[in-house]
Amino acid sequence: MKFDNYKKALANFIFPWTCKICGRSDNVDQGICPDCLSILPWCQRSCYQCGLPVHTSGTDHLICGQCLQKPPNFDHLHAALWYQPPISQLIAGFKYHQCWENVRCLINLFAMTDPLVPPKSRVIPIPSHPARIRERGFNVVYECMRFLKKQLPIKCDPSLLKRISYTETQTGKTRLQRRLNVKNSFAVSRPIQKENIILFDEVVTTGATVNEASRQLKRAGARHVVVWCIARTVR
């Protein structure tokens, strides 16, 4: 057994997982028991580009009608789960009640879906404005990234993209309001010479935030922009 696996086994023995859904403590490895894993709202048959559900026939790289007519600024969106209970409750527990064990569980679930990692790519967390971080007391996406780096072989570059304007929370806004709220709110700190970029956010709702961030990255020279998120909201 490798040393890292030994440490993981020892930690699980001393501090065993309990299922975040049903509370059982036997046969729990990633924070959720096998029975609850099977009923989670996993993303299946979604548009390759925007990540929303599609109902057409086919297998890989399904593209919805909206993306065919007006594609987003990013090239691919990978979401592990739909933003529905119990996933929405786990995310809310982390964001608003500092349930830190939820983060590790959610990132474990995301890593299980084997997201696409373009060659020579770097991961950029969606940045928050410093005032927003002070309000909450921590940076939601950066906390996710700490666990993500332990699960996947990725190179992170949190300084590449900056939030340059303080925007109102997107919660409760319409699709148009969200798009206008984040317009020109990001800036790229340096030129990007045909690099592959992965944007990470914990939840994508309308896609307005990641779309605006992708627009700025493409303007700065990004060749390919992939969006990763733990959960995607279904319209």
Interatomic CA distance for residues 147 and 36, integer angstroms: 22
Residue-level pLDDT at 185: 78
d(CA 13, CA 8): 9
Q: pTM, whole model, 2 decimals?
A: 0.85
pLDDT at 62: 87
- What CA–CA distance (Å, rounded) separates 100 from 144? 10
- The neighbour count for residue 145, using CB atoms within 10 Å, is 20
Q: Are strands 196-204 and 121-125 parallel, antiparallel or unpaired?
A: parallel
Closest CA to 171 of 66, 91, 54, 108: 91
Per-position pLDDT tens, the chain of length 235: 454 555 555 555 555 678 888 888 777 767 888 899 999 999 988 999 999 998 876 666 789 999 999 999 999 999 999 999 999 999 999 888 888 889 999 999 999 999 988 888 999 999 877 776 677 777 888 889 989 998 898 999 988 998 887 665 656 666 666 666 667 778 899 888 888 999 999 999 999 999 999 999 999 999 999 999 999 998 7
Judge residue 79's burial from the number of C-beta atoms within 10 Å of its C-beta, 0-12 exposed, 13-18 middle, 19 or more buried: buried
Amino acid at 181: N
Give pLDDT, residue 1. 43
Beta-strand relationship, 224-232 and 161-163: unpaired
pLDDT reported for residue 134: 75
What is the Cα Rg of the chain in Å? 18
Among 204, 213, 159, residue whose Cα is nearest residue 186: 213
